[in-house]
Amino acid sequence: MSSNSSKPSPGLWQPNPYANYPGPDHTAFLASAATATEEDESDPILAEANARATARQIAFFRSIPWCAALLDKPGLTIQQAESRRLNRTALDALCSRTLNQPGAIPAYVIFYDPNEGLSSSHTSSSSDDKPLPLITQVSSLVALGPLVNGWTGICHGGIIATLLDETLGQIFAANGRHGRLPGKKAAAVPVMTGYLNTKFVRPVRTGTVEAPRVILVTSRIVRHEGRKFFMKADVRDEKGAVLSEADALFVMLKEKL
């Protein structure tokens, strides 16, 4: 059977995402990651690997009509989640390695409006007197394969809680990227989950390695009080039915870990 290279396919992903690392020896790359403590963001090979991974995942979602309709809205930023990026450390290993497999979560991108809340009176950077408004909503598209099953064909509840927590956390990554977190040193200080109350409404179905099932996860900041951010998130299927919900508290730490 001949393949059509013009159509994106879940088969683009390799069993080990680091097998696509365009260097001479991805095994050595993984070995070095076990002891590395800092990521070299200037590494051109690593940057190329992440660019390829991002393009493949976005192409996969654009091949699905209901996902394409979400991504085609004007002005959106669409990218791999920060936690999904390949790196030389053990940082975010759960999403960037453990779940980054064809049978688990072969595709995961986030999207949001970077101009949310901005007007002509706002400058490109915040100040103590006039901070920029927060980006309050980030959504993610996530492909689910059989390796995240609990019951056959149904995603494990712990994975659902993880994805809710993940997408909630991506709000802070987005705000940090655009200089919109409150406080002069906020971008360098971690924001961590204080609580995550999850309600499972309906089973979240998974797919196969060849045809993973896609869900939409949307997170929102409801309000914030100083270092505390009160938030909500939900998981929906392709028809918009709510499958799971969460309310959460995220807290900005006073200093680096």
Q: What are phi and psi of 57, to 5 degrees?
A: -70, -40
Which tens digits make up the pLDDT trace of 29-69?
555 554 444 555 567 878 888 888 899 999 999 999 999 99
The more confidently predicted of residues 186 and 110 is: 110
**Is the pLDDT at 192 greater than 70, yes or no?**
yes
CA dihedral 95, 100, 104, 108 (to 10 degrees): 70
Report the pLDDT value the prediction gives residue 12, as an integer from 0 to 100: 38
Burial of 171 (C-beta count, 10 Å sphere; 0-12/13-18/19+): buried
Q: Based on C-alpha coordinates, what's the Rg of the chain? A: 19
Report the pLDDT value the prediction gives residue 255, as an integer from 0 to 100: 74
Please tell me the least confidently modeled range out of 93-102, 113-122, 147-156, 164-173. Answer: 113-122
Report the pLDDT value the prediction gives residue 47, as an integer from 0 to 100: 82
The more confidently predicted of residues 127 and 110 is: 110
